[in-house]
Amino acid sequence: MNKFPGKFKNKVIIIIVPVIILISFSFASVPASRDFQLTRNMDIFFSMIREISLFYVDDTEPEKLIENGIRGVLQGLDPYTTYVPESERENYATMTTGRYGGVGALIRQVGEFVMIIEPYENFPAQKAGFRAGDIITGINGESTKGLLVNEVSELLKGQPKSKIEITVQRKGETEPVTKELTREEVKIDNVAWYGIVEEGIGYIQFNGFTENAHLEVRDALRELKGNHGAKSVILDVRGNPGGLLMEAVNVTNLFVGKGEEIVSTRGKVTQWDHTYRARNKPHYPDIPMVILTGRSSASAAEIVAGAVQDLDRGIVVGQRTFGKGLIQTTRQLSYNSQLKITTAKYYTPSGRSIQSMDFSNNDAISYIPDSLINEFRTKNGRVVFDGGGIMPDIEITETRPAPILINLYTGNHIFNFATWYASENPSISPPSSFKISDEGYIDFIDFLEKEKFDYQTQTEIHLNQLINSAKQEKYYEISSELFTELKEKIQQDKNQDLKTFKDDIKALLREEIISRYYFQKGRIEASLEGDPAVEKAIELLKNRLLYNSILDGTLIHAENKNQDDFLVSGRLTRALQNQISC
């Protein structure tokens, strides 16, 4: 009989024994007809791990093999069912609480180093004087060269009140800057910004559903109504990925009457079947409201939008939401690990599921086909549909930004100019009044010339492919003059782009520069100017006849508004870049 070599023996036994014990308890509830097959395959799996540990040509890590096996099992399910080992529990907790110990900054990978994109206002990094654009070159005396952004983030995080030394290289300075910071508990607010966007109309940007999110919304509304005279409100959940189910229920309860159904859940196990109703009297039962949604509004954000729409409590404006109608529950496993498992689907008050993808077939993942989409009715009898997210009452069509805008942003040209601008100007006027002058735009064009800015359009890419094909097929010589003329014409058009898209580029510059002085709140306020979705919401809230006619169903179709301008403002910032909090 084979035995484990000494270096594997303890590792394998420690892992396999508790897993087998766990499995044996699990099998107690499995029907007898399936019990043998499950036991047989589990025995095969652990026999395989043993043989790999004994005989594979190189050293292996049994813990890693089994963890990979666990993740392999979960790959056959939906992407929201995940294994959380003990080492990742803290990060998982941050997702539900919005709290972690760290220095308070947004960072991004730039080449072999990591750059500070935005220090959070009134947190250690900002209080220590670190700025957007600083390159982190060392942590606690050790070089960070070659470390990935998630690795640097883990080094920067730690217990509140613990010390950390950070070294950065700042553009325009020859010597590195080193400072010692004391980590603090960093709280990511669910309400990122609120204010008055038009006389009597309040606006709340709502980015998450972590603990006590409804209290943040309640307090923002109280401030807007009590101190700023807001008589109606815009609740913006574009980009909100969701979070805690009960926070979605509690946020909705701020606006709908006690006892109203907000969402229901149904799963395979009846204990997950539940109808969630408003438990309290609403704080704001009559305030007219518009909810702004986007393609990345998901989960809890969709619960709120779906309930408000089904109960005819407000108007939904924007794009169809993501369509995540699956509920996850955390189950404790042995050795402080966890399983986040999908246990139910949720349904809006009208009875519709908004789950957009079907994961039930392990061999293929598909969207809900049109033939299976069903019609439902809101409280006032308006027609709504299931089969994929919440379709807004008024859709704001979305188009892709011009290539020059994407290249200016992803190439860090906007970011770098804002960094230079902040180094030359110690202060600017408030976000509501700051503008990019024509002289400032000329400075930007001069800046691009120094950076030798260039980019390749799709037209150029296709033309080069055509030229290569022409050369291979011996047609190039015949039409070489035509090809040369086309290339010159395209280059001229690219130079013209800086004039054609001047207003859009100015909007990007304005937002980025304002963030250097007024941080995230300033960036958000700046991004609202010229936002078609916000403008449409204001129009609806100012025209009470139009607002009521949509909710009572007498106005079925409303004019759509193009969203070209909006795509070059705040959403482009997060959509195109891999950024992590630390």
**Nearest to 260, CA basis, from 306, 301, 221, 206:** 306
C-alpha dihedral (311, 194, 400, 408), degrees to nearest 10: -170
What local confidence, expressed as pLDDT, does residue 403 receive? Answer: 86
Whether the Cβ atoms of residue 24 and residue 16 lie closer than 8 Å to each other:
no
Both structure tokens of 114: 């990591």
Lowest mean pLDDT among 59-63, 107-111, 163-167: 59-63
Both structure tokens of 480: 């070489």
Task: Give the contacts of 321 (CB within 8 A, at least 6 positions apart).
Answer: 293, 294, 295, 297, 298, 301, 302, 305, 354, 389, 390
Structure confidence at residue 362 as a pLDDT band (50, 70, 90): low
Region 472-478 average pLDDT: 84
Strand partners, 119: 105
Region 160-180 average pLDDT: 94
Q: What is the mean pLDDT of the chain?
A: 87
Query: Whole-angstrom Cα distance, residue 248 to residue 254?
Result: 10
More confident residue, 31 or 458: 458
Both structure tokens of 393: 């009452």
**Nearest to 349, CA basis, from 226, 260, 479:** 260
What local confidence, expressed as pLDDT, does residue 20 receive? Answer: 42
The residue extents of the domains of the chain are 6-75, 99-187, 191-332+342-392, 403-455+501-581
Both structure tokens of 339: 């399983």
Which phi and psi angles does 218 have, rounded to 5°? -60, -45
Residue 17 has pLDDT above 80, yes or no: no
Query: Whole-angstrom Cα distance, residue 47 to residue 71?
Result: 18
DSSP secondary structure, 228-277, as one string: H--SEEEEE-TT---B-HHHHHHHHHTTS-TT-EEEEEE-SSGGG-EEEE
Q: What CATH code is assigned to 99-187?
A: 2.30.42.10
Whether the Cβ atoms of residue 277 and residue 261 lie closer than 8 Å to each other:
yes
Both structure tokens of 99: 């709290």
If you search the block for the tokens 């006389």, which residue do you land on? 199
Query: Whole-angstrom Cα distance, residue 184 to residue 131?
Result: 18
Query: Whole-angstrom Cα distance, residue 115 to residue 582?
Result: 12
DSSP secondary structure, 199-223, as one string: TTEEEEEE--B-TTHHHHHHHHHHH
Residue 233 has pLDDT above 90, yes or no: yes
Measured CA to CA in angstroms, residue 115 lies from 124, 508, 578 at distances of 16, 20, 11
Q: Is 437 exposed, middle or buried (0-12, 13-18, 19+ CB in 10 A)?
A: exposed
Structure confidence at residue 565 as a pLDDT band (50, 70, 90): very low
Structure confidence at residue 37 as a pLDDT band (50, 70, 90): confident
At 533 the three-state DSSP class reads helix
Q: What are the tens digits of pLDDT across the range 423-436?
A: 999 999 999 999 99
More confident residue, 226 or 270: 226
Residue 404 has pLDDT above 50, yes or no: yes
> pTM (2 decimals)?
0.84
Q: Give the whole-number percent of the chain exceeding pLDDT 90.
A: 62
Fold of the CATH domain 191-332+342-392 = 2-enoyl-CoA Hydratase; Chain A, domain 1 (3.90.226)
DSSP secondary structure, 330-397, as one string: EEE-STT-EEEEEEEEEE-TTS-B---EE-SSTT--EEPPGGG--EEE-TT--EEE-SSSPPPSEEEE
Task: Give the contacts of 236 (CB within 8 A, at least 6 positions apart).
Answer: 203, 204, 205, 206, 291, 292, 534
Task: Give the contacts of 275 (CB within 8 A, at least 6 positions apart).
Answer: 261, 263, 264
What local confidence, expressed as pLDDT, does residue 26 receive? Answer: 47
